[in-house]
Structures are given as structure tokens and as C-alpha cells.
Amino acid sequence: LASSQANINDTNSSPPGNRGFQSYYGNIQLGTPPQHFRVVFDTGSSDIWIPSVECNSAACEAHSRFKHTNSSSYSTSHVPFSLNYGSGGLIGQVGADTMHIGGVAVPDVHVGLATHMSRFFRTAQFDGVFGLGFPGLTRIQSQPPLYAMVQAGLLEKPIFSFWVREGHGGQHAGGEVVLGGVNPKRFEGTARTLPIVRKMYWEVELNGLLINDYPVPRISSQTAIIDTGTSLIVLPATDADAVNQFLGAVPLFDEYGLYAIDCHKGNKPTIKFVLAGETFAIRPSHYILPVGRGRCVTAFAASTSPDLSRWVIGNSFLRAWHTTFDVENFEIKLAQAVQADDTSESESSENDSASEAVASASSQLERIVEALATAHPTTSQSPSVTAKPKKTQSSTAKVKPKKLTVSSRASPKTTSSSAETPATVPVHHHTIE
């Protein structure tokens, strides 16, 4: 199998400097001949789903729909499925077909084909979701796509890695996902290992948060989920209050869980997360996010669900840390991300100010509300892994499985995906801009 690349694109419609709320997508193909779809690579869920041609809701009609009758490799299971998100949901049936990702064909992948989608999805810039969570999260009762690739011997190692590029200094945001390996050019220093505390979410131990090296008091959560499908850092309401009060931020809209903060980054502290006994810092440019008309919010948002007891750490953190997810050893490795063509804090601040003046606050906040209201599908299943991936063996270099690189160049959401490198894959699932 030949290594190949796929792009991850940024759906940010605002000027490049206004990079605070970004969602990342990429392309996969399904069926024979292949049909193209934009999906989000989401470690907070485990299923792959896309709209079906049999769906006539407004949300489906705004996206690419899978025409199963046009695929010679399609088979149906007649098994119904449903996914419930905080601000909407979808229902449909499960089918199986050949998936193409990074130029590699994966046979008999079980896919949820949505026959009805809530209004929430109508403005989303992605068609569906590519789940990268553990099998215990599946709602279509089928093997997650990543595990199918591992068992088919298509990956060099049972791991995948994320690199998210910041978008400033005239450069669009983007990223890279590598299925089956890592790209050493995307990080520097030694990667530190965080064990998974339970085999359902990519969930690690949370020991606290330091601001100016002072621990934030009254933190109730003890674990955090590393979630590529979330743009912000979503906390239980009491934890969000504690963190934002320490930063001097005040509630902007209580019902949305957002906190307003001064947009000037020069006098803001570095924030350090303590995860599994290791410390990981993010800069003000990572957690101070412009929302238009000279206003900014912090990335630390309060969950709109009273049931959330863990932190959900999304791309505001991952822009600073290259992340490797090890399916076989149940661990995450974090290393300092390398930002190509990075600019100084002052330069990025100037870009932010310019973009804020022309951003539409109403459209920005609408997307923020949608994103914060979205929660990953819940499940009552016990945390378990149904299939531990086997290491692939190769007798000759000719048949040795290769890494699939989802390399990323970000483009505005107004850019057609057809202009991107063939074989695109997603990296992000909450449309927050």
C-alpha cells in the first residue's frame, strides 16, 4: 500500500487573524465508485456516519448525501441507529461499504446513514463524523472504522496522531492526522505519556490547573477527555467559574457558558494543565478568542449540561500540543507542537484586532452557541474494548503496511474541497467559529 496524503481544512469564514473558533474537516470517500464527503475526525465518538440520499430534511439537503444505489459494493444491514446530541440528533440505518481514506481502500466498513438530521446540522461545514473513540462508545453496534483498518492490516502501527496548526500571520489554520504513525516534523522535544483511565473515552487523570504557577482552587473534576471534536475547553459550571474568575473573566452570556475577557494578550498569563502528573502549558493566544466587535472570550467554557463531571479538552489546547493516541497500549503522548511560520504574540494580536473590526458578532455567537450546546452521544454501555488491535506483520517491504497521512493545509470554508489534495480526511467536529 502506498502512503498518501489528505488535507484537513479549516471552516473559519472570518479573516485569517480571527482564528479563535475553528472547526476542521477533511474528505473521505465511500462506495464503488467513490462518493466524496467532508467529515470530522472525532476522538469523542466511535462511529462513522454521513447523510443518506433517503434523507430529505433541510439539514441533509444542505450536504452531500450517500447514494447507496450507485455503489456496487454496498450492502445493508437493516439495523436502525440513532445519535442524540445536546442540540439535536439524527436517525437512520446502518450499511456497509468500501471506504477510501488517504488513498487506501478499507472494505466492509459499517456506516450510519442518516435518514433524518436535526436543524442543528444545517449550517455545519462537514457532512458527517469519523469517530476515533473506543468500541465501548459505538452506537451503531459495529466495529469502529479505525479498528477495521487495524484488523485489515492497513496501518503500520495501531496508533494515530494529530497536529493542529494555528492560523495567523496571513496563514490559514489547518492540521495533519496520521493514521498508523506520527510525523516527527510536527513536534519537538520528548513526548510525555498519559495513561488512559478507562477504555471508553480518551480520558486521562486531571490533577489541576496552574495560572501564573498558582493552582486554581475549587477544581472538582479529576479526569479530562482529550477530544479532537471540540473547539473549546468545556468544563463543569463550577470549574468554569473558578478558572475564569482567576483570569478576571466575567460571564458574557450565562446561557451559553461563555466568559468575556480583555482582548489584549500581552499582560495575560500562561496557563498550565497538570495531567497524569505532567505539566502542559498554553499561551494567551490559545485561550483568548475574538468573537467580533472588539470582544473576546476565554476558551474555558461552562458546559450547558449539568451532568458533565469531566473536562473536555479540545483544539484550544491541541494547537499547542501534538497528540498521539495509542490504541494498543491505551495511552496518549503529548509533545510540544511545532507551528510552521509561527508569528510573535504581538503580531498575532494585531491580526486579531484587525479581524475583530470586520467580524460579524451575530454569526460568530450563533456558531458558538451551537458548538457549546453540542455534546457527544451518550451510551449506557460499560467501558470495554471489544477488540484489541493486533500488530501487523510483514514478510517483505513490498507488502508492509504504511502510514496514512492526513496532512493539512487549511483553507477558508468558502474554498471548494475539490481544490484540495485528493483523499482528504477530517480532524474536527464542533463547528465553532
| DSSP helix/strand/coil, 276 | coil
Give Cα 64 to chain centroid, integer Å.
Answer: 20
Active site residue 42: yes
The three cell numbers locating residue 151:
484488523
| Residue carrying C-alpha cell 479538552 | 313
Phi, psi of 185 (to 5 degrees): -75, -10
3-state SS assignment for residue 238: helix
Contact (Cβ atoms closer than 8 angstroms) between residue 306 and residue 237: yes
Residue that is written with C-alpha cell 445536546 in the block:
86
CA-CA distance, 284 to 270, in Å (whole number)? 6
Read off the amino acid at residue 244: N
228 to each of 133, 312, 325, how far by Cα in Å? 10, 10, 11
> Contact 118/59 with Cβ under 8 angstroms?
yes
Tell me which of 227, 239, 326, 352 is the catalytic residue.
Answer: 227
Q: Are 119 and 58 in contact (CB under 8 A)?
A: yes
Residue 262 is among the residues annotated as catalytic for this protein: no
Residues designated catalytic: 42, 227
